[in-house]
Chain A
Amino acid sequence: MKKAKLKELDKMREEARRLAVEAGLDPWPVTFGVVNYDELNEVSSYDGFPERYSHWHFGMSYDYFRKRSAYSGWWTYELVINTNPAIAYLRDSNSPIENKGVMVHVYGHVDFFKNNRWFSKTPKDMVKLMHNHAIVTEEYMNKHGVAEVESFIDRALSIEYNIDQYSQFIKRRWQTEEAEENHREPSKIPVKREYMDRFVNPPNWVEQRKSKIKETKDKHKHLHDQTDLPKPHKDLIWFLMRYGRLEDWQRDILSMLREESYYFVPQIMTKVMNEGWAMYWQSKIMAEFAHPNEFLDHADMVSKVLAGGVVNPYALGKLIWEDIKERWDKGRFGREWELCNDKEKREKWDTKANLGTEKIFEVRRNYNDLTFIAEFFTEELYEKLKLFTYEYLPETGAYHITSRDFADVKQKLLFQYTNLGKPTMKVATGNYGNKSELLLLHEYNGIGLNLEEAKETLKHVFHMWGRPVNLKTIIRRKVKDPDPTRNRIHPEQPLTAVTEEQGILIRYDGEAFKELALSADEVKDIRLNEDYNTIPKEWVG
């Protein structure tokens, strides 16, 4: 790359940053790397990092990106990682307007990384940690063999997001955690002034409580199997790391992958908001940044990114942000607004409140996709978008439109962002049936597991647990087939079989699977109140 061009890019970057800050954004510094298409494909498959641990799935991503860029001219448009300073990439063949657009977009993301509370616990020197993971994995591979280590990583990746994304603090290594637990101080009654402390919390009382805690703890330890959790727990990786029959190096790999998952999970939890935020500011700032003759090119670029409509997180997010801004600018919020049913009045509603900017910055600080959509995906937006829900019917072998009701659509939308869009799995005990067997629970919300895949996953968990593993879930059992000719005569009102919920326990002992039917009582603990299935009642039977 020529010096002059780099200088020009740096000037552009300064300008982009100045415009972003002027607009109210508060990003960390950003280092832009200029890369050729092959390097871009490489960092893309490493999720933006210069280095990752060695595993074939990165090779798979790389292959995917390479073929994409070779055969369809598609490339990674923007790539930025959540570190301080943030690191982002520019393709060396980008046109000036593409560079400008990407830079502004990136500053939007970096502002979000810095200020959204769900990112507050991620390590800001993740590049270094990823580098360490790469080195350590390589050492293990040298010592234990590539195949051995890689197939263990296969297993671990099977549960990479079986963590508790809401737990605020990363429990890094199981050893330190245990140490912490042993030295826990009894909680004190909070005092306003320090001198009050010895009166409110007299030393002998604190001592007494301390020894009592220790006593119950010891008792607990002796009488109680530690793996028998008092409450089901989402962090399966942590549980296996701590209690699984594993070698030290295997525990270490689990802990590294867990650390990476906790690092990535806020990005999954805020994808709609974050992409929407970046697009929102890109469009705004580019109005000033783009030269008049570049404007159409930029519009074209934006429309490509937003293609696909509302189910594209970029588009959905941007739409909601724009809506919030407008509503709070016009005072369309609060009790009066909510209670107003007069359509005409609502359309003309404008109190000149001018609170939009303040509101969006508050939302960007506190929300995640789930709360964002729950609160700001309004009936007005829904009406604009002509949305519907659809479901699959095995009888017709097709997907059918099931509802155009706002509540149904919103429910389905929320479902896609609940628990990272994945089924909620919990570990209940490591001493199921008093035989040191693992029991996993699937909290059922009307949508079943992909059973075949779940069984493959169980196999992997078995190898990490070292003893038989059990999975409790609910499936839908067919009770009665519909009239077979009916769907041919009235395809517009399809019929599906009558089904019944049936609890099952799937057990894998290292050799074979066994399935056991459970009574309704036995699955009470995993049947949630929610139901995300939108098949109309009159279609059943």
Chain B
Amino acid sequence: MAGAGAREYKRRIRSVKSTQQITKAMKMVAAAKLRRAQEHAQASRPYTETLQGTLARLAAVSFDVRHPLLEKREDVRKVGYIVVTADRGLCGGYNTNIIRECNIAIREDERKADYGIIAVGRKGRDFFRKTGKLDAEFVNLGDNVSYADAREIAQYVMNAYENQELDEVYLVYAKFINALRQIPTAVKVLPLETPEAEEAETSINERVIDYIYEPSAEEILLTLLPKYVGSQIYHAMLEGKASEHGARMTAMGNATDNAKELIDNLTMVMNKVRQAAITDEILDIVGGAEALKK
């Protein structure tokens, strides 16, 4: 009889504890994956930076370059959004924040153009499938972002752009600041804007290198433009991955802390109930003894 209530609490504590073990393990896995994702992002930097630097230099010396990917369209009928989300949940507001950012971008587009979603990651796809605006999906790409996947996505949007199916393309993803902060951002990918201005300026300030261009600056620029699209998408996917693991690590850390607090509270209540039961019993015994004395 004693502690019937206490047993109920004991059961709940055990259940919370096992949940806590899971969240703790997930947090540690996310931390390890975050480190790997950051290393990946680091490894891709030389490529991206050299490509950007060279493009800027080429753009500075090339005149009158024409490329379908560079041409701005007056009449924008349909805008494409590449939405980079995670394949899995349990990472706090990560996925919802990206989807919200995308919806804000769509709403704030004053041209009221039609739009289509190119979903990268299952969570984004699931959401936009319900809206009926899904144009393409690239899901289950795994934790190791590969450049081949990025290139395939780039190929898809460049085809759609050149076939006039899309008139503008944005990339929506979470920029990685640190494990606690990921900022959802939307950047324009197409039409391409060559990275010129500031970078070109600094190279002029340094010193002018008289390059030989083989075949010509213009032609090299044209072959590099599609690669620039691929590298931008790859970069977004890498940052997205780091952000995802960062967000999951934080969310699971919080969950573990909450579980601890819950366990502490439950333990205290359980002890109170147990003590009350003991007191009751003692009172019973004392009461019985008193009654016998009389």
Partners in one complex: no
